[in-house]
């Protein structure tokens, strides 16, 4: 790789080269894995919070046994417009990574026996069933910890495993849209309430475009599991983790709770405005949209200078003027009068050039509002191996996002395989962990257990 | 159940919030040095701090930028709510670690620490002689995480990133918004918070590995790449079809039905994808004809089918109250809930009972009510112990307790300007008005 694609725009070329040597994606496969001493049972049911949590552990080297009902988990069918690739949809292929796929009918006695056998050996059991379901099968935490006191039992569900709403809502399944709805962030995301130019029909809560309820919920579950593992390494003790995805969002809902506590008032939906930092917004440009900022007084001065609009600096001299819902639409439209004349690249170049001036007033930041197609073409992501393109024996030519833990110098995260067909690893997993032979497996198959 | 207790009793006892402070903190004994500003870096350390890590936060003369980022330029007891939200249970030192004299003190602290986190421009720590190579020399077991928009190397290293840049460069914004309207950024600094969460996961992996082997390491984490990672099927879809993923409002393009519906008195989020859940919904709607036509989940996902079905549900929901739809969801086994706002959660017994909302008495700011980071853990629950602090509030405590410096030595360092405290002319660096000079002070 040539130097320029490593040092980029770095202020410290030597550091960039060193960092590249330490985290070179070409050397990942020869390095150790952080969590390759733990066994995880993933019983996620139609739920990407559970699947993402176990993906993170699997990227770090954990042995993950992905348990599906015979016929496959419904999550395999959660795919845009119903597009399937073999037996899996597009969501599932992304989160099937590094997992050993087995089938098991835990509603049957024989199936439960096998699961108990696996649970005795597991470090982590992860599930997303309705609260009380596993308990009703005699496989709740109270049951499993008797034979495995070190077990980290993790339950993911919208309403959690206890509390008033849990008792009420425990017959509801966990879905991303409801996790987002109960996570407060959705209540403040969407087109601005206080902008007269926005039609009333658009003034309503809006979810984050991705499965953010599930992905944030899964990341919190993995965080809890790793925290519990750390504790267990010191004490030998397992525990029960109750991971409610809405709590994962409400915990990161900026200052809306604090502001309510302190002032008794709620924040309105701000759209692309921001009542704590502005300008800090998306603006129209000749080829789409771009981000632009100039929040603090010096940075605002810089932005006004780049736009050659000293009048704006005088009209909105301090953050007090720039942070009001009344002024922000005006400021936005004034900035757009400038930006619509240029492409996002031209704006980027102007701002970079300004940043090199010795008498610059401050710093302005920009960044194109990329579509998914744009992102897939960028050299930076190619060089950093952000995506993994493979020709999979079962799923053909596919492209998935790589592990974001891949730039750990000693134990980089990695994707070893993308996904496996339903039940593809029955034989190896049941032999390895329960000593079942071919004949026994054949019988289980005939009885519809696996 | 093996315990002979009913489920609510069993879980109620297991998670009893009354015993919160009797239980151990899982990260107790882990010392983290935070050389961070704004949201992403401080949030990374905040997650660890609420689970017991001892986080020492360093600020320069101006202080963390969030001391000045606050809704409507409004401050509370002199404090910026923008600073409060990602800074709990921390120890606050005013010291610019790039200052040559401060650097020696910092390296002494590194010897006694486990983790160093920075979210500065990549290479900045190296200019100060404080990158991983230097830290490792001081402490071979140290774990260092650097997080920035594009990472420490590559064509775009050195480009500035903010939360909204990461949302736009990672394409989250282009898929968020209504179908026939423009892109919308999240109502919160979501790309900061979730990247911090994944950083905390990376640090925990490194700590788990270190428990096994004694080895530390360097972690380079990329904010924009993190946003990309979280966009589920977006990339595979664009790769296979050659199309951009489009905005679809609250409709889920991969689960049907899953959308937000208008009711008589508000809105309800509703989803029912499995055959059984969908049957339940059709029963609740009294529309078994829909069940017959759209039993197969994959068939429902086809664009024209999805649009028709969602229209039918919308017509039905429009004549119902939110509470009614929620109750039908519970009865018939599909998902249905209103959209919760800050005040709903604030006043909710459910979240308080779970410890997801905690109330505590802060010695500087009085009664606080706020979120505690999840998940809820039976043996080692998280907890909020105190709020954010004035600049340099814990100088004496940290340098005294951790480095054993006598008080006169700390005073000398303060006189020299190597360590410093709040500027009395800048209220959001200062203790609240009327502070007695003692409350909240940690004694070494």
State the pLDDT at residue A369: 96
The fraction of chain B above a pLDDT of 90, given in percent, is 96
- For residue B243, the chain A residues in CB contact (below 8 A) are 373
Q: Which two tokens stand for residue A353?
A: 């050039």
State the pLDDT at residue A2: 72
Which residues, in sequence order, are bridge partners of residue B55?
B32, B90
State the pLDDT at residue B379: 98
Mean pLDDT of B64-88: 96
Mean pLDDT of B144-149: 98
Q: What is the spatial distance between Cα A139 and Cα A106, in angstroms, rounded to a whole number? A: 10
Does residue B270 share a domain with residue B152?
A: no
Best mutation target among A232, A251, A327 (most B Cβ atoms within 10 Å) is A251
Interchain pair B71, A381: CB under 8 A: no
Domain ranges of chain A: 31-251+420-446, 280-369
Query: How many Cβ atoms sit within 10 Å of the Cβ of residue B441?
Result: 14
Does residue B274 share a domain with residue B206?
A: no
The alpha carbon of residue B258 is apart from the nearest alpha carbon of chain A, in Å, by 7
Task: Residue B271: name the closest of A173, A52, A51, A209 by CA.
Answer: A173
- For residue B383, the chain A residues in CB contact (below 8 A) are none
Q: What is the spatial distance between Cα B5 and Cα B344, in angstroms, rounded to a whole number? A: 32
Nearest chain B alpha carbon to A191: B184
Residues 6 or more apart whose CB falls under 8 angstroms from that of A85 comprise A93, A395, A396, A398, B240
Q: What is the spatial distance between Cα B9 and Cα A154, in angstroms, rounded to a whole number? A: 18
Mean pLDDT of B77-103: 97
Q: What is the spatial distance between Cα A23 and Cα B149, in angstroms, rounded to a whole number? A: 16
Q: Measure CB to CB from residue B208 to each of A34, A219, A369 and give the nearest one.
A: A34
Mean pLDDT of A287-316: 96
Q: What is the spatial distance between Cα A307 and Cα A297, in angstroms, rounded to a whole number? A: 15
- For residue B162, the chain A residues in CB contact (below 8 A) are 280, 291, 293, 365
State the pLDDT at residue B5: 67
Interchain pair B209, A18: CB under 8 A: no
Q: Measure CB to CB from residue B236 to each of A247, A296, A400 and give the nearest one.
A: A400
Q: What is the spatial distance between Cα B230 and Cα A220, in angstroms, rounded to a whole number? A: 13
What CATH number was assigned to the domain covering residues A31-251+420-446?
Answer: 3.40.50.10540
The alpha carbon of residue B416 is apart from the nearest alpha carbon of chain A, in Å, by 29
pTM of this structure = 0.98
Helices (H), B61-154: 81-84, 100-111, 124-127, 132-138
Helices (H), B15-99: 40-49, 81-84
Does residue B197 share a domain with residue B60?
A: yes
Starting at the edge strand that comes first in sequence, how are the strands of the sheet with B376-377 ordered?
Answer: A99-103, A63-68, A39-43, A124-127, A152-156, A239-243, B376-377
End residue of a domain, out of B307, B340, B373:
B340
Q: Where in B299-365 does DSSP place strands (E)?
A: 335-338, 357-362
| Parent domain of B396 | 14-230+384-429
Nearest chain A alpha carbon to B25: A231
Q: What is the spatial distance between Cα B234 and Cα B229, in angstroms, rounded to a whole number? A: 10
From residue A8, alpha-carbon distances to A11, A385, B121 in Å are 9, 16, 13
Does residue B388 share a domain with residue B330?
A: no
Q: What is the spatial distance between Cα A277 and Cα B71, in angstroms, rounded to a whole number? A: 8
Q: What is the spatial distance between Cα B37 and Cα B120, in angstroms, rounded to a whole number? A: 8
Residue B78 domain-assigned? Answer: yes
Q: What is the mean pLDDT of chain B?
A: 96
Task: Residue B29: name the closest of B10, B3, B4, B51 by CA.
Answer: B51
Does residue B281 share a domain with residue B170?
A: no
Residue B4 has pLDDT above 60, yes or no: no
- For residue B144, the chain A residues in CB contact (below 8 A) are none
pLDDT digit string, tens, across residues B398-432: 999 999 999 999 999 999 999 999 999 999 999 99
The verdict on whether omega for the bond into residue A279 sits within 30 degrees of 0, i.e. cis, is yes
Nearest chain A alpha carbon to B374: A248
Interchain pair B238, A373: CB under 8 A: yes
Residue located via tokens 């609009």: A309
Residue B244 domain-assigned? Answer: no
Q: Say if residue A62 is exposed, middle or buried (CB neighbours under 10 Å; 0-12, 13-18, 19+).
A: buried
State the pLDDT at residue A3: 87
| Beta carbons of B89 and B442 less than 8 angstroms apart | no
Q: What is the spatial distance between Cα B66 and Cα B82, in angstroms, rounded to a whole number? A: 5
State the pLDDT at residue A186: 98
The alpha carbon of residue B185 is apart from the nearest alpha carbon of chain A, in Å, by 6
Mean pLDDT of A223-229: 98
Does residue B411 share a domain with residue B288?
A: no
Does residue B18 share a domain with residue B127?
A: yes
Task: Residue B77: name the closest of B384, B443, B395, B363 by CA.
Answer: B363
Nearest chain B alpha carbon to A279: B164
State the pLDDT at residue B1: 40
The verdict on whether omega for the bond into residue A170 sits within 30 degrees of 0, i.e. cis, is no
pLDDT digit string, tens, across residues B7-31: 778 888 999 999 999 999 999 999 9
- For residue A206, the chain B residues in CB contact (below 8 A) are 176-178, 184, 249-250
Interchain pair A173, B330: CB under 8 A: no
Task: Residue B43: name the closest of B231, B198, B212 by CA.
Answer: B198
Residue A429 has pLDDT above 90, yes or no: yes
The fraction of chain A above a pLDDT of 90, given in percent, is 98
CATH of the domain at B325: 3.30.1540.10
Residue B239 domain-assigned? Answer: no
The alpha carbon of residue B280 is apart from the nearest alpha carbon of chain A, in Å, by 11
pLDDT digit string, tens, across residues A34-61: 999 999 999 999 999 999 999 999 999 9
End residue of a domain, out of B340, B365, B393:
B340
Task: Residue A68: name the closest of A446, A438, A436, A421 by CA.
Answer: A421
Angle between helix A109-121 and A426-434 (nearest 10)? 60
End residue of a domain, out of B280, B309, B340:
B340
Query: How many Cβ atoms sit within 10 Å of the Cβ of residue A199?
Result: 8
From residue B417, alpha-carbon distances to A291, B100, B127, B267 in Å are 38, 12, 21, 57
Q: Measure CB to CB from residue A371 to each of B8, B51, B171 and give the nearest one.
A: B171
User: Most distant CA pair in chain B: distance in Å?
Assistant: 83
The verdict on whether omega for the bond into residue B371 sits within 30 degrees of 0, i.e. cis, is no
Residue located via tokens 């270190």: B210
pLDDT digit string, tens, across residues A231-278: 999 999 999 999 999 999 999 999 999 999 999 999 999 999 999 999
pLDDT digit string, tens, across residues A312-325: 999 999 999 999 99
Q: What is the mean pLDDT of chain A?
A: 97
Angle between helix B275-285 and B303-318 (nearest 10)? 40
- Per the structure, the count of domains in chain B is 2
Residues 6 or more apart whose CB falls under 8 angstroms from that of B194 comprise A212, A215, A216, A219, A252, B226, B227, B230
Residue B350 domain-assigned? Answer: no
Mean pLDDT of B118-143: 97
Task: Residue B335: name the closest of A245, A205, A82, A134 by CA.
Answer: A245
The alpha carbon of residue B88 is apart from the nearest alpha carbon of chain A, in Å, by 13
The alpha carbon of residue B277 is apart from the nearest alpha carbon of chain A, in Å, by 8
Residues B189, B116, B357: CA angle, nearest 5 degrees: 45
Residue B366 domain-assigned? Answer: no
pLDDT digit string, tens, across residues A183-200: 999 999 999 999 999 999
pLDDT digit string, tens, across residues A108-146: 999 999 999 999 999 999 999 999 999 999 999 999 999
Interchain pair B235, A400: CB under 8 A: yes
State the pLDDT at residue B361: 97
Q: Say if residue A417 is exposed, middle or buried (CB neighbours under 10 Å; 0-12, 13-18, 19+).
A: middle
Q: Tell me how many residue pairs between chain A and chain B have CB atoms under 8 A apart.
A: 625
Interchain pair A250, B3: CB under 8 A: no
Residue B408 domain-assigned? Answer: yes
The DSSP line for A393-449 is TTTEEEEEEPPTTTTBSSS----S-S---TTTTHHHHHHHHH---HHHHHHHHHTT-
pLDDT digit string, tens, across residues B160-201: 899 999 999 999 999 999 999 999 999 999 999 999 999 999
CATH of the domain at B116: 3.40.50.10540
Residue B3 has pLDDT above 60, yes or no: no
Interchain pair A208, B177: CB under 8 A: no
- For residue A82, the chain B residues in CB contact (below 8 A) are 298-302
pLDDT band at residue B2 under the 50/70/90 scheme: very low
State the pLDDT at residue A1: 63
Three-state SS string over A65-125 comes to EEEECCCCCHHHHCCHHHCEECCEEHHHHHCCCCEEEEECCCCCHHHHHHHHHHHHHCCEE
Interchain pair B342, A184: CB under 8 A: yes
Which residues, in sequence order, are bridge partners of residue A63?
A39
| Beta carbons of B11 and A170 less than 8 angstroms apart | no
pLDDT digit string, tens, across residues B320-376: 999 999 999 999 999 999 999 999 999 999 999 999 999 999 999 999 999 999 999
Q: Which two tokens stand for residue B75?
A: 């401050």
Q: Measure CB to CB from residue B370 to each of A142, A261, A320 and give the nearest one.
A: A261
Q: What is the CA radius of gyration of chain A?
A: 26
| Beta carbons of A100 and A428 less than 8 angstroms apart | yes
Q: What is the spatial distance between Cα A22 and Cα B216, in angstroms, rounded to a whole number? A: 13
Best mutation target among B254, B360, B383 (most A Cβ atoms within 10 Å) is B254
Q: What is the spatial distance between Cα A157 and Cα A240, in angstroms, rounded to a whole number? A: 13
Does residue B277 share a domain with residue B148?
A: no
Q: What is the spatial distance between Cα A268 and Cα A290, in angstroms, rounded to a whole number? A: 24
State the pLDDT at residue B444: 80
What CATH number was assigned to the domain covering residues A280-369?
Answer: 3.30.1540.10
């Amino acid at each position: 790789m040539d130097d320029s694609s490593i040092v980029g725009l770095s202020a410290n070329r030597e550091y960039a080269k060193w960092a590249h040597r330490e985290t070179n994606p070409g050397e990942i496969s020869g390095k150790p894995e952080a969590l390759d001493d733990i066994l995880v049972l993933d019983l996620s049911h139609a739920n990407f919070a559970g699947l993402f949590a176990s993906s993170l552990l699997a990227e770090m080297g954990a042995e993950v046994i992905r348990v599906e009902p015979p016929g496959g988990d419904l999550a395999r069918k959660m795919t845009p417009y119903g597009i399937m690739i073999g037996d899996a949809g597009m969501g599932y292929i992304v989160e099937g990574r590094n997992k050993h796929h087995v089938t098991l009918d835990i509603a049957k006695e024989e199936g439960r026996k096998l699961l108990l056998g696996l649970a005795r050996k597991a470090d982590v059991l992860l599930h997303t069933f309705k609260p009380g379901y596993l308990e009703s099968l005699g496989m709740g935490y109270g049951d499993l910890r008797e034979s495995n006191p070190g077990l980290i039992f993790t339950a993911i569900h919208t309403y959690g495993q206890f509390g008033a709403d849990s008792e009420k809502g425990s017959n509801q399944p966990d879905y991303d849209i409801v996790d987002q709805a109960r996570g407060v962030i959705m209540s403040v995301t969407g087109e601005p309430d206080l902008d007269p130019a926005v039609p009333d029909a658009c003034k309503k809560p809006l979810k984050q475009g991705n499965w953010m309820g599930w992905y944030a919920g899964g990341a919190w579950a993995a965080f809890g599991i790793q925290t519990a593992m750390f504790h267990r390494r010191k004490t030998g003790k397992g525990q029960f983790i109750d991971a409610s995805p809405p709590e994962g969002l409400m915990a990161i809902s900026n200052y809306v709770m604090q502001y309510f506590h302190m002032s008794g008032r709620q924040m309105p939906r701000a759209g692309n405005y921001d009542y704590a930092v502005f300008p800090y917004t998306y603006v129209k440009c000749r080829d789409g949209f771009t981000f632009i900022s100039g929040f603090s007084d010096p940075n605002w001065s810089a932005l006004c200078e780049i736009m050659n609009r000293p009048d704006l600096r005088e009209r909105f001299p301090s953050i007090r003027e720039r942070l009001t819902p009344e002024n922000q639409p005006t400021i936005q439209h004034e900035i757009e009068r400038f930006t619509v004349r240029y492409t996002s690249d031209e704006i980027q170049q102007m701002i970079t050039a300004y940043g090199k001036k010795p008498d610059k007033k401050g710093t302005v930041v920009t960044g194109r509002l990329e579509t998914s197609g744009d992102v897939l073409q960028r050299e930076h992501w190619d060089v950093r191996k952000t995506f993994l393109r493979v020709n999979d024996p079962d799923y053909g030519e596919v492209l998935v996002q790589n592990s974001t833990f891949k730039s750990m110098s000693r134990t980089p995260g990695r994707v070893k395989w993308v996904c496996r067909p339903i039940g593809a690893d029955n034989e190896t997993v049941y032999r390895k962990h329960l000593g079942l032979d071919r004949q026994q497996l054949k019988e289980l198959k005939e009885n519809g257990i696996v | 159940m093996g315990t002979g207790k009913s489920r609510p009793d069993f879980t109620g006892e297991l998670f009893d919030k009354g015993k919160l402070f009797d239980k151990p903190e899982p990260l107790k004994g882990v010392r983290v040095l935070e050389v961070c500003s704004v949201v992403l870096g401080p949030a990374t350390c905040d997650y660890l701090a609420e689970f017991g890590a001892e986080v020492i936060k360093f600020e320069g003369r101006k202080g963390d930028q969030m001391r000045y980022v606050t809704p409507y330029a409004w401050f509370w007891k002199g404090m910026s709510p923008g600073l409060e939200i990602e800074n709990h249970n921390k120890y606050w030192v005013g010291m610019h670690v790039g200052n040559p004299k401060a650097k020696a003190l910092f390296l002494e602290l590194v010897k006694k620490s486990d983790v160093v986190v920075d979210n500065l421009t990549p290479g900045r720590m190296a200019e100060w002689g404080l990158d991983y190579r230097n830290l490792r020399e001081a402490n071979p077991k140290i774990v260092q995480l650097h997080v920035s928009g594009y990472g420490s190397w590559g064509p775009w290293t050195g480009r500035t990133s903010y939360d909204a840049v990461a949302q736009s460069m990672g394409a989250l914004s282009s898929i968020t918004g209504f179908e026939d309207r423009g892109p919308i950024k999240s109502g919160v600094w979501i790309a900061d918070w979730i990247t911090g969460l994944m950083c905390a996961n990376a640090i925990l992996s490194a700590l788990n590995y270190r428990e096994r082997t004694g080895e530390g390491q360097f972690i380079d984490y990329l904010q924009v790449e993190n946003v990309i990672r979280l966009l589920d099927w977006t990339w595979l879809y664009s790769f296979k079809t050659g199309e951009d993923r489009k905005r679809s409002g609250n409709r889920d393009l991969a689960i049907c039905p899953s959308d937000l519906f208008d009711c008589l008195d508000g809105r309800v989020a509703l989803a029912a994808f499995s055959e059984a859940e969908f049957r339940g919904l059709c029963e609740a709607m009294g529309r078994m004809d829909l069940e017959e036509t759209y039993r197969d989940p994959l068939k429902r996902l086809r664009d024209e089918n999805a649009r028709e079905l969602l229209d039918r549900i919308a017509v039905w929901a429009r004549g119902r109250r939110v509470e009614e739809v929620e109750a039908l969801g519970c009865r018939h086994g599909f998902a249905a809930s209103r959209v919760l706002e800050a005040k709903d959660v604030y006043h909710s017994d459910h979240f308080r009972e779970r410890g997801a909302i905690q109330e505590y008495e802060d010695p500087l700011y009085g009664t606080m009510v706020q979120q505690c980071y999840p998940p809820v853990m039976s043996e080692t629950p998280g907890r909020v112990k105190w709020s954010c602090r004035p600049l340099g509030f814990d100088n004496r405590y940290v340098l005294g307790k951790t480095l054993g410096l006598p008080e006169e030595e700390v005073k000398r360092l303060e006189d020299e300007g190597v360590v410093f405290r709040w500027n009395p002319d800048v209220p959001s660096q200062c203790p609240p008005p009327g502070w007695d000079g003692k409350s909240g002070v940690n004694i070494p």
